[in-house]
Structure 1
Amino acid sequence: MSIGNSPEDERPFEDVTEEARPPIGRVLQQARIAAGLTVDDVSTATRVRIAIVHAIEADNFAPCGGDVYARGHIRTLAKAVHLDPGPLLDQYDAEHGGRPAPTPAAPLFEAERIRPERRGPNWTAAMVAAIVAVIGFVGFTMFKGETDSGSKDQVAEGSTPSADKSSAPSAGTGKPTDPKPDPTESAIAAAPQDKVTVQVSATDGRSWISAKDHNGRLLFDGLLKQGESKTFQDSSKINLVLGDAGAIQLYVNGKKIDDDWQPGAVERLTYTKGDPQEG
């Protein structure tokens, strides 16, 4: 009979204290679902192709075209679904051989100093510059005239429409002009009645928004920072997608939309001409 530990007692202990981390793609997919976004929404917001988004969520980074592009896509998708990209990038580096080495900077060479030669005035260059200046002044004058003549029929983003001539006092009557509108009201209150005008303002935070006209043409797709606003106009219909509706204030055809949207809620809205109404 032998004294001591048996062979079974000498087996190495398995380290089971560290839980396996979930795959990067699964983390991004679960965060996207929790944010109420589809793959198409994320692709539209980030400009990452739908096929690549699907591949990354399946933990397949080959379609990205390399580690540098894969890390960039991970960072972009993480921000779109409100995740900190740092831990995901560290996990990717650990699983794929570390962070890519930086490209070495090209050596700098000191330019050879050349003694300038004395030259007379370059009359040709002066004449060309004078001709360009004249052409530029004429073009600017014509453009300014066209802009002034068409300003009555256009509503530009951030501009205030001109006051209606009917509000001016009649000659010789001495009657005061109509009172100015409340400065707290949106400037789009004077928008044409035969069109639909929508102003989107990020009053309580930032939000990704997307706007399309009645033909499905994309008018805007991007992040609206707090304090910024965008105005969209179409002949019949405006389609909106709000990534964080709780941070947005809407004015439609000059009227404020008082909807109690929750922070982080994704809203898809359609507005038409006349009294504000959702399509």
Structure 2
Amino acid sequence: MSIGNSPEDERPFEDDREEARLSIGRVLQQARIAAGLTVDDLTNATRVRLPIVHAIEADDFGPCGGDVYARGHIRTLAKAVGIDPAPLLAQYDADHGGRPAPTPAAPLFEAERIRPERRGPNWTAAMVAAIVAVVGFVGFTAFKGGDGGDKTQVAEGSTPSTSKTASPTPTKPDEPKPDPTDSAIAAAPQDKVTVQVSAADGRSWISAKDHNGRLLFDGLLKQGESKTFQDSEKINLVLGDAGAIQLYVNGKKIDEDWQQGAVERLTYTKGDPQVG
């Protein structure tokens, strides 16, 4: 009989604990960094205030003001960095006692039916109607008499000349409107810089400023949409997903081999397309 540990005691301990999952704030932060966006960029794109973005990435949902607002911020930030918000919302509901119950609808009140009151005959209205009928008959008779005199005069006089019917003016068919082409961009003034941004291959967040730093546009450009910006000196651009963008500057297409998901910061001036 041997003394010591049995073979079962010598087996390594099994760790049945599941691998710790990433928190909501950590997932959003990693996705933002992968998209090449700063917290300022995310705030400008979503209109979610800067302190709230910092708090959510630190898994502090208190500044959101409640579960409904917290879920809305999570959904907005997830879409802005290009990830599916559904798993994050499910994780939030599981960590905070489930999805908030919808507000019950206000009860409907049935309108009280009002029984019509029985009324006697309205003699005043009948009298007014009779007077109107008499006046109308007298007026019609006078009109017919005057009309007969006119007919006699016409019969005794010369034959009235028939007026020629005016021929309708020929209308020109609607000319088809020309389809918008790149020539419209080429007609931009030479003393200004004109930049057209089109989301041809997907959606992308973009930001555009003039030479004074004034914000011309800051938001998400969906696939198929386009924006045109113009300034007297230069246009500063930030493309959140440059691979999805088709760019025209002063009427000329910019052929750059931008990768999908790449963030590009560009400046264009008057004259030929040139990156500042």
TM-score (ref. length: structure 1): 0.68
* 1:115–1:224 CA distance, 2 compared to 1 (3 A): farther
What does residue range 199-214 of structure 1 map to in structure 2 within 5 Å?
199-214=196-211
Structure 2 residue identity aligned to 1:76 = T
Number of residue pairs matched? Answer: 204
Indicate if the aligned counterparts of 1:75 and 1:89 stay in contact, CA closer than 8 A: yes
How far off its partner does 1:22 sit? 1.6
* 1:183–1:34 CA distance, 2 compared to 1 (3 A): closer
Indicate if the aligned counterparts of 1:253 and 1:275 stay in contact, CA closer than 8 A: yes
Structure 1 residue 53 and structure 2 residue 53: aligned? Answer: yes
* 1:113–1:259 CA distance, 2 compared to 1 (3 A): farther
Q: Counterparts of 1:69 and 1:215 in 2: how far apart (Å)?
A: 35
Structure 1 residue 191 and structure 2 residue 188: aligned? Answer: yes
Structure 2 residue identity aligned to 1:29 = Q
Equivalent of 1:216 in 206, 213, 226: 213
Equivalent position of 1:255 in the other structure: 252
Three-state SS of the structure 2 residue aligned to 1:104 is coil
Q: Counterparts of 2:214 and 2:27 in 1: how far apart (Å)?
A: 33
Equivalent position of 1:268 in the other structure: 265
Gaps of 5+ in 1: 1-8, 117-181
Structure 1 residue identity aligned to 2:64 = C
Q: Counterparts of 1:114 and 1:272 in 2: how far apart (Å)?
A: 74
Gaps of 5+ in 2: 1-8, 117-178
Q: Percent identity?
A: 89
How far off its partner does 1:16 sit? 2.6
Deviations 1:10-38 (CA, angstroms, capped at 9, x unpaired): xxx99734222221111111111111111
Q: Counterparts of 1:110 and 1:66 in 2: how far apart (Å)?
A: 35
Equivalent position of 2:66 in the other structure: 66
Indicate if the aligned counterparts of 1:186 and 1:251 stay in contact, CA closer than 8 A: no
Which structure has the greater CA radius of gyration? 2
Query: Following TM superposition, where does structure 1 have runs of at least 4 consecutive aligned residues deviating by more than 3 angstroms?
Result: 110-116
Equivalent position of 1:76 in the other structure: 76
How far off its partner does 1:112 sit? 4.7
Equivalent position of 1:167 in the other structure: none
Q: Counterparts of 2:61 and 2:255 in 1: how far apart (Å)?
A: 44
Three-state SS of the structure 2 residue aligned to 1:278 is coil
Q: Counterparts of 2:253 and 2:200 in 1: how far apart (Å)?
A: 13
Indicate if the aligned counterparts of 1:200 and 1:231 stay in contact, CA closer than 8 A: yes
How far off its partner does 1:62 sit? 0.7
How far off its partner does 1:115 sit? 9.0
Structure 1 residue 232 and structure 2 residue 233: aligned? Answer: no
What does residue range 130-141 of structure 1 map to in structure 2 within 5 Å?
none
* 1:44–1:115 CA distance, 2 compared to 1 (3 A): farther
Deviations 1:122-181 (CA, angstroms, capped at 9, x unpaired): xxxxxxxxxxxxxxxxxxxxxxxxxxxxxxxxxxxxxxxxxxxxxxxxxxxxxxxxxxxx
Q: Counterparts of 1:191 and 1:60 in 2: how far apart (Å)?
A: 50
How far off its partner does 1:235 sit? 1.0
What RMSD in Å do the two structures reach over aligned CA positions? Answer: 2.3
Structure 1 residue 242 and structure 2 residue 235: aligned? Answer: no
Three-state SS of the structure 2 residue aligned to 1:264 is coil
TM-score (ref. length: structure 2): 0.69
Moved more, 247-256 or 16-25: 16-25
Equivalent position of 1:101 in the other structure: 101
Indicate if the aligned counterparts of 1:194 and 1:235 stay in contact, CA closer than 8 A: yes
How far off its partner does 1:183 sit? 7.5
Three-state SS of the structure 1 residue aligned to 2:44 is helix
How far off its partner does 1:111 sit? 3.9
Deviations 1:38-85 (CA, angstroms, capped at 9, x unpaired): 111111111111111111111111111111111111111111111111
Q: Counterparts of 2:221 and 2:115 in 1: how far apart (Å)?
A: 54
Equivalent position of 1:39 in the other structure: 39
Q: Counterparts of 2:112 and 2:210 in 1: how far apart (Å)?
A: 58
Q: Counterparts of 1:202 and 1:114 in 2: how far apart (Å)?
A: 61
Three-state SS of the structure 1 residue aligned to 2:182 is coil
Structure 1 residue identity aligned to 2:62 = A
